[in-house]
Amino acid sequence: MLHDAEFAGIDHEAPFVCTAHKLKPRRCVAFQGSDTGRKFYMCAIENEVLSCGFQSWIDPEWDDSLKHALTKLWAMYNESNNSRIQERYASSKMLKDLTEEKEKLEKKHATLLEEGNRWIDETQRKWIAQTEKKAITENYAKIMSGQHDAEQMEKHIAALKNEVEVLKNAKEELNNLLKSQAEVFKVNGVNKDKVKRIKAICEEE
């Protein structure tokens, strides 16, 4: 129904009442279909269920050319409405597709980022492990060569000790010899001081 302020409300002057309720009818203007703009009366009760369905045309039926034009206009209106609905549907579908695509891309990006981070961590871990291994190997080599040095040193010290021992023995022998000579000199009373000095040199150290 079309709202028309100039033709609305109950018509108390109407020459008839509705069949079931015996109420003065309501003024109406048709809206849809080939009757657009046609005035008519309806049961005063607007509630569709309680209305008795009374209807009485005021305007006569439109002539065929007007009916045809109205039908065509309504068809055009419905078509444009449908295409608008379809457009809206298409754009909402596109929006949905785009949203899904965006979510997919975001997920992919996150996966790539995660993989990248994992790769960096792994590479770093490998690098640290390799560096540690290298350092350990180098230190081991150093320790081993150090041990070698220590062994050499021990041998050297042993050799030195041996030499000292030999010298000690030699000195002792010389001492004994000098002592016995000193005895001889003492007996003979010759050059005591010289012997003493030699003795002192031998006893040093």
- In the complex, the residues that contact Zn ion under the rule CB under 5 A are 18, 20-21, 43, 52, 54
Question: Minimum Å distance from CB 34 to Zn ion?
Answer: 26
Complex with Zn ion: residue 19 or 86, whichever CB lies closer: 19
Torsions phi, psi for 39 (to 5 deg): -85, 145
Complex with Zn ion: residue 28 or 43, whichever CB lies closer: 43
Complex with Zn ion: residue 47 or 188, whichever CB lies closer: 47
Question: Minimum Å distance from CB 84 to Zn ion?
Answer: 38
* CB-CB neighbours of 76 under 10 Å: 10
Complex with Zn ion: residue 1 or 136, whichever CB lies closer: 1
The 3-state secondary structure of the chain reads CECCCCCCCECCCCCCCCCCCCCCCEEEECCCHHHCCCEEEECCCCCCCCCCCCEEECCCCCCHHHHHHHHHHHHHHHHHHHHHHHHHHHHHHHHHHHHHHHHHHHHHHHHHHHHHHHHHHHHHHHHHHHHHHHHHHHHHHHHHHHHHHHHHHHHHHHHHHHHHHHHHHHHHHHHHHHHHHHHHHHHHCCCHHHHHHHHHHHHCC
Question: Minimum Å distance from CB 25 to Zn ion?
Answer: 8
Question: Minimum Å distance from CB 4 to Zn ion?
Answer: 21
Q: What does the alpha-carbon distance between residue 124 and residue 176 come to, in Å, rounded to a whole number?
A: 76
Question: Minimum Å distance from CB 17 to Zn ion?
Answer: 8
Complex with Zn ion: residue 21 or 67, whichever CB lies closer: 21
Complex with Zn ion: residue 17 or 182, whichever CB lies closer: 17
The two three-digit tokens of residue 64, written as one number = 């065929």
Question: Minimum Å distance from CB 45 to Zn ion?
Answer: 6
